[in-house]
Amino acid sequence: MKCLNTAFLGILIAGLLSILACSDVPGPSSFASSTPPIRTVGYWENWNDVKWWDNNIPGNCHLGCIKDTFEAKIQPYTHVVYSFLLLQNDAVAKTSYNKIACKTAEDCPVWDGKGIYLSDVPLVGSGVPAASDISVEANLLRLKILSGNTTLKDFVTRAHQAKKIALLALGGWSDWVRIGTTENAETIAGLFAQLVTTTGADGVDLDFEHLAEFSKHNGPDSEYKNFSFLVVALRSKLGSDKIISYTTRFNAFGVTRDNLMSFANPTIAPNPNNPLPTQGYDPADTLKPFVPLTGVDADFITNNEGETLWLGGNGVLPIKDSVDMVNIMAYDAGTFLLDFAGIFNNFVGGGVPAGKISMGLEPGNQAAGGIWEGCAMDKDIIEYVSSKGGGVMFWAINAATATNAKYTNILASGSPCP
């Protein structure tokens, strides 16, 4: 996932909520009759659609507010995910936002223990008092907002009115704050579970993208341990009727030196036993110059992190029985040509039931030099994953560019490619 790399205004939930008391791979398919995926998960970017930084009139259009186009945009989806809530209070992050690779522990600090944050833009226009304001008036205002007058509540209510399942996402690429301890994990789980109850959401999505980097600063695999405690604690606190979704990268399972896992080097002939990855591709035309993978990790320190978490071990709790859905971010992959069938089967081979998997797609422009595989290829991917009982995830429902928005809607709704 992604997140807006600007300042974010903190919501102090801690005090506030206490008040509120592997299979055969198909060949090319025809699309004489297009049908939508059996499960379509879409992320709602709370920084798009409204220029909330230009609209600072309280009661007018708050941060991440939902416009009249919301219902039309979410129509093709079964699950809609509000993104993002954060552990990061950007009063800290604003002073040092060179977080990439977590070069120092200060770059990626431990959660402050004070709250879960929606954004840290100065409170103008958000309607939410600053976390540092502990006055009676501020607490009463927080109470009023969370009891039914926030964008979160509005998001959930309107999604339910449209017969959609509504989830709240915690994390995202821009959240560079560590859980830090298992005790913090338990506390965060309690706060987030109360937020789910307060807003009426159907569950949570956990999109923690920097566990590997974080573990460099508090011991090998330690942040995986902390994350696993968060997942298990959330399941305990939410009960069995709420959804827990785990979002991870395409390289979370099955990386080996021999199979190049989920990657295909376009300079190597396609595997005749796995035709799906090359359908619709002309590497000479669509791919940038490419440096072949040279080792098992291929510079990705996140390789196989799903295997670390799913079955647990060495102090890491198994998350497999606590997670209902696994979203795979199969995009933003630079110049790699992704083997989507291979990705799917790596996850299944690692113990993830096919029915829990949602293959993530980002039609159109992608970050990190990623190259979209095209509408026809995405149709093949959707058909393949659906035939195995899986679903599809899209980034994002309200994509910022016209191309992304157009093709995301086409693919989510099952409409024919132009």
| Superfamily of structural domain 39-86+102-109+147-413 | Glycosidases (3.20.20.80)
Whether the Cβ atoms of residue 303 and residue 353 lie closer than 8 Å to each other: no
The residue assigned the tokens 């599809």 is 392
pLDDT beyond 90 at 289 = no
- The mean pLDDT value for 362-380 works out to 89
- The mean pLDDT value for 389-410 works out to 94
- At residue 150, the pLDDT reads 61
What are the angstrom distances between the C-alpha of 290 and each of 130, 263, 264, 283, 337? 47, 12, 11, 10, 10
Q: How far apart, in whole angstroms, are the C-alpha atoms of residue 252 and residue 70?
A: 33
pLDDT beyond 50 at 231 = yes
Burial degree of 137 (CB within 10 A; 0-12, 13-18, 19+): exposed
pLDDT beyond 80 at 230 = yes
Mean pLDDT of the chain: 74
- More confident site: 171 or 293: 171
- At residue 39, the pLDDT reads 95
Q: Which two tokens stand for residue 366?
A: 């992608």
The domain locations on the chain are 39-86+102-109+147-413
- More confident site: 274 or 216: 216
- The mean pLDDT value for 70-91 works out to 88
Q: How far apart, in whole angstroms, are the C-alpha atoms of residue 191 and residue 146?
A: 13
- The mean pLDDT value for 397-413 works out to 93
- At residue 100, the pLDDT reads 60
Instruction: Give the bridge partners for 170, in sequence order.
Output: 85, 206
- At residue 151, the pLDDT reads 72
- More confident site: 290 or 251: 251
pTM above 0.85, yes or no: no
pLDDT beyond 50 at 291 = no
pLDDT in tens, 238-257: 999 999 999 999 889 887 65
Q: Between the ranges 15-24, 76-85, 317-326, where is the mean pLDDT highest? A: 317-326
- Cis (ω within 30 of 0) for the bond into 300? no
Comparing CA positions, the residue from 370, 376, 377, 418 lying closest to residue 395 is: 370
Per cent of the chain over pLDDT 70 is: 65
pLDDT in tens, 84-134: 888 886 655 544 444 566 777 777 888 888 777 765 433 333 345 555 554
- At residue 33, the pLDDT reads 35
